[in-house]
């Protein structure tokens, strides 16, 4: 079984994927982590890398090729990435959604408490985080549409869509996903 987890920033993709990896004993891969490393190697922020990607598709395609190869050579893992479902079509495709204000609150609080992603900037406040996330998603949509002709936000691409806005936490979301996965066989 291969699980691909996509979703909006702040929906809990990475945290939930790590929990599922532990509970199911499956290897976990983070495409966002690979992109963060790529940005770091180029001495760019993740937002600067995304902006560069709007004119230089190699900032996406190198990581995308990695995903595609992963899907061809392994058959038991979890990967979180916006387009993982696209590059690994034989996966169980999950999308985690979250209302923008709640997602911004989560990201702002995590970064403020030093528990968030290090490639995430230090935001002035939740509204600043919401605006930055909105710009990041717009860049993602522009790049993915231009390179691959897809919109990762379209729920029709997924086997399961869960809104985490009112979730009591990532553990609860992971348990719900486990239940839904078992129901679908």
Residue 119: which CATH number?
3.40.50.300
Instruction: Identify which of 16-20, 55-59, 133-137 has the greatest average pLDDT.
Output: 16-20
Residue 105 to residue 141: CA distance in whole angstroms: 22
Predicted local confidence at residue 126, as pLDDT:
86
Residue 135 to residue 119: CA distance in whole angstroms: 16
pLDDT for residue 115 is more than 60: no
What residue numbers bound the domain in which 85 lies?
2-183
Q: What is the band of 120 on the pLDDT scale with cuts at 50, 70, 90?
A: low
pLDDT for residue 179 is more than 90: yes
Residue 174 to residue 170: CA distance in whole angstroms: 6
The domain total for the chain is: 1
Predicted local confidence at residue 170, as pLDDT:
93
Q: What is the mean pLDDT of residues 116-130?
A: 74
Q: What is the mean pLDDT of residues 86-101?
A: 96
Q: How confident is the model over 134-158, as pLDDT tens digits?
A: 998 999 999 999 999 999 999 999 9
pLDDT for residue 102 is more than 90: yes
pLDDT for residue 54 is more than 80: yes
Predicted local confidence at residue 14, as pLDDT:
92
pLDDT for residue 125 is more than 90: no
pLDDT for residue 119 is more than 80: no
Instruction: Say if CB 88 and CB 72 are below 8 A apart.
Output: no
Distances (CA, A) of 42 to 37, 59, 67, 108: 9, 10, 21, 25
Q: What is the mean pLDDT of residues 81-105?
A: 95
H runs (alpha helix) in 42-125: 46-53, 58-73, 84-87, 100-112
């Amino acid at each position: 079984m291969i699980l691909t987890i996509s979703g909006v920033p702040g929906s809990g993709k990475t945290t939930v994927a790590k929990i599922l990896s532990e509970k199911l004993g499956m290897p976990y891969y983070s495409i966002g982590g690979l992109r963060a490393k790529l940005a770091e190697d180029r001495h760019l922020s993740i937002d600067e890398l995304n902006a560069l990607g709007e004119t230089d598709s190699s900032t996406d395609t190198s990581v995308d090729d990695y995903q595609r190869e992963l899907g061809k050579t392994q058959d038991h893992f979890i990967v979180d990435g916006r387009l993982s479902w696209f590059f690994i079509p034989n996966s169980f495709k999950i999308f985690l959604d979250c209302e923008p204000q709640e997602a911004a609150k989560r990201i702002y609080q995590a970064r403020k408490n030093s528990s968030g992603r290090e490639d995430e900037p230090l935001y002035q406040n939740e509204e600043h985080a919401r605006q930055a996330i909105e710009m990041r998603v717009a860049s993602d949509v522009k790049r993915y549409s231009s390179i691959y002709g897809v919109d990762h936000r379209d729920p029709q691409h997924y086997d399961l869509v869960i809104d985490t806005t009112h979730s009591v936490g990532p553990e609860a979301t992971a348990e719900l996903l486990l239940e839904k996965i078992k129901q679908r066989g």
